[in-house]
Every structure is written in structure tokens, then in C-alpha cells.
Structure 1
Amino acid sequence: MQPFISVDGVVNFRDIGGYVCRNPAGLSSLPSNVDETPEKQWCIRPGFVFRAAQPSQITPAGIEILKKTLAIQAIFDFRSESEIQLVSKRYPDSLLDIPGTTRHAVPVFQEGDYSPISLAKRYGVTADESTNDQSFRPGFVKAYEAIARNAAQAGSFRAIIQHILQDSAGPVLFHCTVGKDRTGVFSALILKLCGVADEDIVADYALTTQGLGVWREHLIQRLLQRGEATTKEQAEAIISSDPRDMKAFLSNVVEGEFGGARNYFVNLCGLPEGEVDRVITKLVVPKTTK
């Protein structure tokens, strides 16, 4: 599966559809489009839910792809007001609202900079922690738990779910700054809810290292200039999407602290069981074979 989509001016843009769902029938009531036949294969609905870095520098050609090829009309923005103002200051020609789409402001954190570099600093991810051989980086796992809990309290993730449940809802895009941390946490939780295997969720998260493209060098240089990394290798490690971090988040936090993705959406986000069932049936479709 090749998830990356070329949208001019936006990096790390990809479809989270197509992943096989191992157990989509884990529902409180079995819907009509999900059966328990062992040979029946299911996957996340392709072309419906997309993730990306911020689209602030999208070009007219990129807008054309976004609207006409992908048919995206709703965009969910996880960034804080502080981050949006920072982008506007650095790039005066940046876009906040993309013509032909509706932007939904659903900040995970109300104020402050939570881009990957700042997030790492806030939660104690040091250059040494990023380059040692331990199984995962505790700072990032702690950060991802904070993202999940803050998003639940703020209603950020619930807003996307409830939008998807609308009968007229078309394809949606969600993003933060570079599409790694807040975006990665929501993607992981929704894929986990729908029965995607942990190894596929981890692989999806790890793709951001590749998906950042030209932005990687920009972020690396910022770390070196600030003195927050002394070598390029240390800087690369800090901004990387290390699969071990997501694996630990899924096992230690989603399962260990929340009791599973379903419990997270019901107990922390406040979604009724019926709405959780309905979003699964909307996102899980029969897998087609070519």
C-alpha cells in the first residue's frame, strides 16, 4: 500500500484507509455490513480519512487536488492559537482557511507551541534519550498520553467522530503542525478502535519520518541552531517517528491506562456506545481484491 499523496505545498499527506481490520466485529451490536465469517476480509475505508502536516503553504495546484481529486471539504486543525499566530508571523502569505473547504478549529492544547521540537522539550526528550538503545523514549510516550487526555477533555477527537457520523459527511482531513504527534495519536486511536493490528498502526506512525520530506532538514537546522542537539544525528532522532514510541503508547497507555481504544472514546471522550459502533461501521468496509 502506498499511502502518500502528492498535494503541492503540503508534506506528510496520506490516506489512512486500506489497512486490514483484524476484528471489526468487536461491537456492542453487530451491524449489517460486518459479519463474523472468518474468510471475510475488512479494511479501513479508502479515500475517506486523511492526515497531513499543516496545509498553510498549500498552492493553487494543491487546493485543486484537495477539492476536486480528494473531495475534501472538512479540515480539522489540532494546532493551538499560538501556533497559528506563529505560522502567520513567519509566513505572512500562509493560508488559514482554504477556499472551498471548512476549517474546524479543534485545538488539543489551547495555548503554547506543541510542534515536535517544542513537544520533545516540554516532556523531557533529550538528545541523549533519542540516541540511546532503550526500547522506547519515555518522554514521547508521556507526551502522547497528555495529547490523548487533553484531546478528550477539549472535545477535539470527539468533534471529528461526530462529524464523520453525519449522513452528508464526505472525506475529511486532520492535521497538526507536521502531522506527527497529535495527528499520530488520533490516527492510532481511530485505527485501533476499528481493529487494525498494532504492527500496522506502528508502521503508519513511522511513515512520518519519510513523509516530512524537505521539512526534515528545516527542523534539524532549528534544533542545531537552538543548541538543543549537538549533532545532526541527535537532531534527526528527536524529530523522528520512532516506531518503538508508538508501540509503547499502544501497550502502556491505550491498553494499560485506558483499557483499550473503545474505552478511551466512550469513557474519556464521552461518546455513547452507539456512536462508537456507528463510526466503526462507517469506516470499516469489505476489502476488495484486485
Structure 2
Amino acid sequence: MKLDWPGCLNGRDVGGLPTADGRRTRFGALLRSDSHNRLTAEGIAAVRAAGIGRIFDLRWARETAREPSPFADDPVYRNAPLIAELAEQGTTMPDAYRTMLDENRRQITGVFVQLSDAPPGPLAVHCSAGRDRTGVLVALALSVAGVPPESIASDYALTEGCGGDTILRTLAHLDDRHGGAFTYLTKGGASRAQLRQVRDRLVS
């Protein structure tokens, strides 16, 4: 469901996706978007009105310094870089998300754990374009929630300029090399209880 956040191009609620056991992801649980620094005054007001429990800004420190979040001083805001800070890169190449997962497991898991520990209310995650880092974290969260790869890919394909094949390849690599999302995250330091907390938060 598209979010009416003026200034954000890729804002949407990932509720309503089917899970393998016949349930659905909960609306108002996980919201994804591009960077909040683009929000208009109306967009900022809309985010505040949504009752967000935690905002996770997945960008690097240098990005947040260059384009600060309008919520940087709010208690709900956390800058939580998803991957190690590297040179600027375009990451929709077929293998880029795989490399992201392979080389940043502990850092990615550390951010994921923060999803489980967040206070009540919607979780809002964003990077710069709302595509790559956001796409990987949301794919992991939806996998833990039991959403099948095809449905995760269909959601990802709603992102401007993206196709579902990128996420399907990423999830296949996650299974083949790391044993799936649960194994990837537990080996990265997450507990099974923390994974259950994320699943229970996302699934109605």
C-alpha cells in the first residue's frame, strides 16, 4: 500500500503480503521508503501522524551529514548503517546484494536485532533511494515472517526502477550459501527469540 508521504517516491506499507502458513503481514507494522530528507512539510507531518515507533535510517554517516533527516533529533530516530561504509556504488547489479549479505552479516544482523527491540508502533526503514539497503533488510524481515520469495519479489518490484528478479536471486543465494534467513541471522548473532519477535510483530 502506497504511503501518502509527500516528497517520498518509494513510500509504502508492506502489509497484506501472504505467508506460507496462510496468514498475512500486518498493515502498519513495517513501512519502507526512500530518504526522509526529501519530505515536504506535509510529508513530515504525515510521518509524525503515523505514530512511528522507530525510524531506522540505513544510510552511512557521511550521507546523513550531507542530507540530514528531519527526524534526527527525535527520540524515535536511529541512524543504523546497514553495511560497511564504502565508496559510492550502484547496487542493482545481479550479484551486488549477494555481496552485501556475504560481507556484512554481523552489521546487517545488528540492525535486524534492533527491529526486534524497537518500541511499539510502526517500524519505518529507509536508505537513500529506498531500494538497495532497504530492499535487503525488508527481504530478510519478510523471510523471517514466512513470506514466500515470489511475494517478497513482487513487493520489491513496486520500487521505482526495480525488477523482482534481483531479490529472487538474492534469496536463492541466501538459501544456497547461508541456509536461509534464519540461519544467516542466527550465525550473525541474533537469537531465535529475537527472530520470533520480528515475525510476531509483522504477522497478524
**What residue is the counterpart of 2:85 in the other structure?**
111
In the TM superposition, residue 283 of structure 1 has moved relative to its aligned partner by 1.8
- State yes or no: 1:202 paired with 2:153: yes
In the TM superposition, residue 282 of structure 1 has moved relative to its aligned partner by 2.4
- State yes or no: 1:265 paired with 2:191: no
In the TM superposition, residue 49 of structure 1 has moved relative to its aligned partner by 0.8
Q: Which moved more, 1:143-152 or 1:180-189?
A: 143-152
Unaligned ranges ≥5, structure 1: 24-40, 89-93, 121-138, 210-239, 286-290
Give the TM-score normalised by the residue count of structure 2. 0.88
In the TM superposition, residue 63 of structure 1 has moved relative to its aligned partner by 1.6
**What residue is the counterpart of 2:32 in the other structure?**
51
Partner SS state of residue 257, structure 1: helix
In the TM superposition, residue 278 of structure 1 has moved relative to its aligned partner by 2.7
CA contact (8 A) 2:20 2:146 kept: yes
Partner SS state of residue 93, structure 2: helix
Give the TM-score normalised by the residue count of structure 1. 0.64
CA contact (8 A) 2:34 2:130 kept: yes
Considering only CA atoms, is the larger Rg found in Structure 1 or Structure 2? 1
CA distance in structure 1 between the aligned counterparts of 2:72 and 2:47, rounded to whole angstroms: 10
Q: Which runs of 4+ in 1 moved over 4 A?
A: 98-101
Q: Relative to structure 1, is the Cα distance of residues 78 and 157 closer, same or farther in structure 2, using a 3 angstrom cutoff?
A: farther
Q: Relative to structure 1, is the Cα distance of residues 141 and 75 closer, same or farther in structure 2, using a 3 angstrom cutoff?
A: same
Q: Relative to structure 1, is the Cα distance of residues 206 and 52 closer, same or farther in structure 2, using a 3 angstrom cutoff?
A: same
**What residue is the counterpart of 1:186 in the other structure?**
137
**What residue is the counterpart of 2:111 in the other structure?**
159
Q: What is the CA RMSD across the aligned residues, in angstroms?
A: 2.2
Q: Following superposition of structure 1 onto structure 2, how do residues 168-179 of structure 1 map, counting pairs within 5 Å?
A: 168-179=119-130
CA contact (8 A) 1:76 1:160 kept: no
- State yes or no: 1:278 paired with 2:197: yes
**What residue is the counterpart of 1:224 in the other structure?**
none
CA distance in structure 1 between the aligned counterparts of 2:115 and 2:175, rounded to whole angstroms: 26
CA distance in structure 2 between the aligned counterparts of 1:271 and 1:19, rounded to whole angstroms: 24
* Residue-by-residue CA offset, 1:56-85 (whole Å, 9 max, x unaligned): 0212211221111x2114211111123234
Count of residue pairs brought into register by the alignment: 204
Partner SS state of residue 177, structure 2: coil
In the TM superposition, residue 110 of structure 1 has moved relative to its aligned partner by 4.0
Q: Relative to structure 1, is the Cα distance of residues 65 and 157 closer, same or farther in structure 2, using a 3 angstrom cutoff?
A: farther
In the TM superposition, residue 162 of structure 1 has moved relative to its aligned partner by 3.5
Q: Which letter maps to 1:140?
A: M
* Residue-by-residue CA offset, 1:14-53 (whole Å, 9 max, x unaligned): 1111111113xxxxxxxxxxxxxxxxx4111111111100
Q: Relative to structure 1, is the Cα distance of residues 142 and 74 closer, same or farther in structure 2, using a 3 angstrom cutoff?
A: same
Q: Which letter maps to 1:282?
A: R
**What residue is the counterpart of 1:31 in the other structure?**
none
In the TM superposition, residue 108 of structure 1 has moved relative to its aligned partner by 2.3
* Residue-by-residue CA offset, 1:116-148 (whole Å, 9 max, x unaligned): xx224xxxxxxxxxxxxxxxxxx7242102322
CA contact (8 A) 1:157 1:186 kept: no
Q: Relative to structure 1, is the Cα distance of residues 113 and 173 closer, same or farther in structure 2, using a 3 angstrom cutoff?
A: farther
The percent identity for this pair of structures is 26
CA distance in structure 1 between the aligned counterparts of 2:69 and 2:139, rounded to whole angstroms: 27
**What residue is the counterpart of 1:235 in the other structure?**
none
- State yes or no: 1:254 paired with 2:182: no
* Residue-by-residue CA offset, 1:77-132 (whole Å, 9 max, x unaligned): 111123234x44xxxxx645356553211112343454xxx224xxxxxxxxxxxx
